[in-house]
Chains A and B, each alone.
Chain A
Amino acid sequence: MTLLKVRGIKKSFAEGEAHHQVLSSINLDVPKSIFMALCGPSGSGKSTLLNICGLLNNPDEGRLYWQDKEINFNNKKQLTLLRRNHVGFVFQTFNLVPVMTVFDNVEYPLMLQGVAKKERQERVYEMLFQVGLRGFENYLPDRLSGGQRQRVAIARALVKQPQLVIADEPTANLDSETAYQIIELMRELSKKLEASFLIATHDQRMTPYCHQIVNLQDGKLHNEPTSMQEAKNEVAAVCLS
């Protein structure tokens, strides 16, 4: 079953009098456990598409199917609950809550889900172990380096074992050494936790790790061949518009 199906999505923004068509008729299938990159030059609409896939924004036209069920963008409560239970987010600027410790930041999504305290604690520690930050539980984010902060963010995104993780340029604020480590970490955890990753990037280093790369240009998606052999077997076809 396809995790997320995007069909005929359009999105435009008003620019004064004129309408700027950012996405014009996008079709995309996001299978389970895929590690997918969304490439394209700055301003091509990557963030706009990701926001729609992450249920943060509604398309002007078109439909989204979450496990074959159409998403109703007017039902705010349902969108919030879907995000709460099934979607993780990793941001370019990390977006940790500065007054919360590393532990608290990672615990937050589990608190939203109402997970019991003891289980929360176990899962947070386990997740921090996975991202290599055991021992940093009581640090406030401002004491961490960029790479460490992004690890916390990844832990926060994955602690609830989401089916989809949306990552908008997660390595853009990191040096290349750290960026590699973060990419590798995401790739590894994606496989381990069977979570689909949808990553917006114009970072060429990302491409060797991806099952599938889609290119966004002039509001349209173009499939790109990947170097990974397994990708060919795993990836579902991308519907070109």
Chain B
Amino acid sequence: MKWLQFAYRNIWRNQRRSMMTITLTAIGTLGILSTGGFALFTYDSLKEFATRATGHIVLAHDDYFDVDEEMPVQLGIENSVEIKKALLQEPEVKSVIQSIEFTGLISNGDKSTIFMGKGVDPEMFNLVGPAMKLLEGKYLSKRIDLMADAQVVLGQGLAKSMGAEVGSSLTLLSTTSEGALNAMDVLVQGIYTTGVPDMDDRMLYVHLPQAQELLLTSKIHTLSIHLFDTHKTQAFSEHFKKMFTELGVTTWRDHAFFYTSVKNLYNRIFGVMGIVILLMISFAVSNTIAMTVVERTREIGTLRALGSFDYEVSRVILLEAAMISLIGVLIGVVLTGLCVLGLTILDFQMPPPPGQTEGYPLRINFSAQLTIGVVLVMLLLAQIAAWIAARSGVNKPITEALAHV
């Protein structure tokens, strides 16, 4: 207790210098925690985005993601309805979406263009979340009206190029699983955007059975499994691998290219930044302690003359460094907390990422794990820096130290 008091009084012997070091440490901590928190927020958002778009676990033909089909639905799954039923028996499974992918031409009678289509279970639109935004009309209805034309939901760009609005009639033309041409009349049910123009210019959605009808098949391509808890993805993918030995089991990570590349990029950028900040703070602490030790040369010499071992003297100096860095780091943590709150209240928007039209909110995640980690690393580095800085001063010959003015 007494030693804490001495260390505390020592800090205020050179108030300006100590304040500088504390401020630097606080700003550095804020820098690392806020950029780290921003990265974590981004990862979380992209993860949410990715898992909603693809589901947590995707079942497909073993070769589906590796090999190009020579014929439509060549690498499909036959008994998907039974598989879906079996999956829904699992208590952790929230939902299962079957889908089939196909390409072809879309025409409004005057003009045609290439499309990329997906036949899906309509629950998909409830799960997809912010990855899709409905601009006009509705998504595919829950039930198929067999008396009416098939429904289609178009990407914004595709709708524009077809001059289509909600209620417009269009024709889809595609190759069947047997290689013949087939056509289907569709009615525009809704228009959406993903925020990615390249996708919006090509993509459309229809009900799964109608896509199967167009392709003359009973197969599907993928089953997207949505779990209640993202953390169970790995465990369940192992489980499903055993359950469906003949199928390929992949997780959302295998399909989240954007998530993976952003994470790699951010880890690198913020990692380097963090190291720079840590080095800067280490130098600041080491500099402060070096100056402190020089200023107190005679005092240190006195303590050693009285019979203190070097480590007993260093201990006092290290305690002082620990206190300075702890005060700085704690202020930094508090500042980060305030930033987290402030950003939540103010709701700043970040500009759209490259290739997208929508921005996203600037938020910082406050991660206890990151905070504790950063605090410990900061304190440890400060101790090492202080120890190195103090060593030369403490090892000076006592008589020289005592003669120091």
Note all chain B residues with C-beta closer than 8 A to A100.
6
Decide if A89 is an interface residue (CB 8 Å cutoff).
yes
Note all chain B residues with C-beta closer than 8 A to A112.
306-308, 312
* Interface contact B398-A57, CB-CB below 8 Å: yes
A91 to B309, CA, bound (A): 20
* Interface contact A84-B399, CB-CB below 8 Å: no
Note all chain A residues with C-beta closer than 8 A to B309.
77, 80
Decide if A83 is an interface residue (CB 8 Å cutoff).
yes
* Interface contact B399-A51, CB-CB below 8 Å: yes
Query: Per-residue CB proximity of B281-300 to A under 8 Å, as 1/0?
Result: 00000000000000000110
Note all chain B residues with C-beta closer than 8 A to A109.
306-307
* Contact A85/B6 with A57-B398, A99-B13 known, Cβ cut-off 8 Å: no
Q: How far is the CB of A42 from chain B (nearest CB, A)?
A: 14
* Interface contact A56-B307, CB-CB below 8 Å: no
Query: Per-residue CB proximity of B383-405 to A under 8 Å, as 1/0?
Result: 00000000000000111001100
Residue among B305, B308, B397, B398 with the highest chain A CB neighbour number at 10 A: B305
Residues on A facing B (Cβ under 8 Å): 47, 51, 54, 56-57, 77, 80-85, 87, 89, 91, 93, 95, 97-100, 104, 108-109, 112, 156
Known A87-B307, A99-B10, A156-B306; further 16 A-B contacts with Cβ < 8 A = A47-B403, A56-B398, A80-B309, A84-B307, A85-B307, A89-B302, A89-B305, A89-B306, A97-B303, A98-B13, A99-B9, A104-B2, A108-B306, A109-B307, A112-B306, A112-B308
A87 to B308, CA, bound (A): 12
* Interface contact A54-B305, CB-CB below 8 Å: yes
A82 to B399, CA, bound (A): 17
Q: How far is the CB of B261 from chain A (nearest CB, A)?
A: 54
Note all chain A residues with C-beta closer than 8 A to B308.
80, 84, 112
* Interface contact B302-A84, CB-CB below 8 Å: no
Q: How far is the CB of A149 from chain B (nearest CB, A)?
A: 13
Measured CB to CB, the nearest residue on chain A to B303 is A97
Q: How far is the CB of B256 from chain A (nearest CB, A)?
A: 57
Question: What are the nearest 9 A-B pairs in CB distance?
Answer: A84-B307, A99-B9, A83-B307, A95-B302, A57-B399, A56-B398, A51-B399, A99-B6, A89-B305
Q: How far is the CB of B110 from chain A (nearest CB, A)?
A: 90
Note all chain B residues with C-beta closer than 8 A to A99.
6, 9-10, 13
Note all chain B residues with C-beta closer than 8 A to A81.
307
25 sample A-B contacts, Cβ–Cβ < 8 Å, listed by A number: A47-B403, A54-B305, A56-B305, A57-B397, A80-B304, A80-B309, A82-B307, A83-B305, A84-B307, A84-B308, A85-B307, A89-B305, A91-B302, A91-B402, A95-B298, A95-B302, A97-B6, A97-B299, A97-B302, A97-B303, A98-B13, A99-B10, A99-B13, A112-B308, A112-B312
Q: How far is the CB of A45 from chain B (nearest CB, A)?
A: 12
Note all chain A residues with C-beta closer than 8 A to B9.
99
Note all chain A residues with C-beta closer than 8 A to B13.
98-99
* Contact A56/B399 with A97-B299, A99-B10, A104-B2 known, Cβ cut-off 8 Å: yes
Q: How far is the CB of B11 from chain A (nearest CB, A)?
A: 10
Note all chain B residues with C-beta closer than 8 A to A57.
397-399
* Interface contact B397-A80, CB-CB below 8 Å: no
Q: How far is the CB of A94 from chain B (nearest CB, A)?
A: 9
A56 to B307, CA, bound (A): 10
A85 to B308, CA, bound (A): 11
Measured CB to CB, the nearest residue on chain B to A107 is B2
Note all chain B residues with C-beta closer than 8 A to A77.
309
A-facing residues in B1-50 (Cβ within 8 Å): 2, 6, 9-10, 13
A93 to B299, CA, bound (A): 11
Q: How far is the CB of B108 from chain A (nearest CB, A)?
A: 86
Note all chain B residues with C-beta closer than 8 A to A51.
398-399, 402
Measured CB to CB, the nearest residue on chain A to B298 is A95
Note all chain A residues with C-beta closer than 8 A to B398.
51, 56-57
* Interface contact B10-A80, CB-CB below 8 Å: no
Note all chain B residues with C-beta closer than 8 A to A93.
298
Note all chain A residues with C-beta closer than 8 A to B397.
57
Q: How far is the CB of B230 from chain A (nearest CB, A)?
A: 54
Note all chain A residues with C-beta closer than 8 A to B305.
54, 56, 83, 89
A51 to B304, CA, bound (A): 13
Residue among B308, B397, B403 with the highest chain A CB neighbour number at 10 A: B308
Residue among A89, A99, A109, A112 with the highest chain B CB neighbour number at 10 A: A99
Note all chain A residues with C-beta closer than 8 A to B2.
104
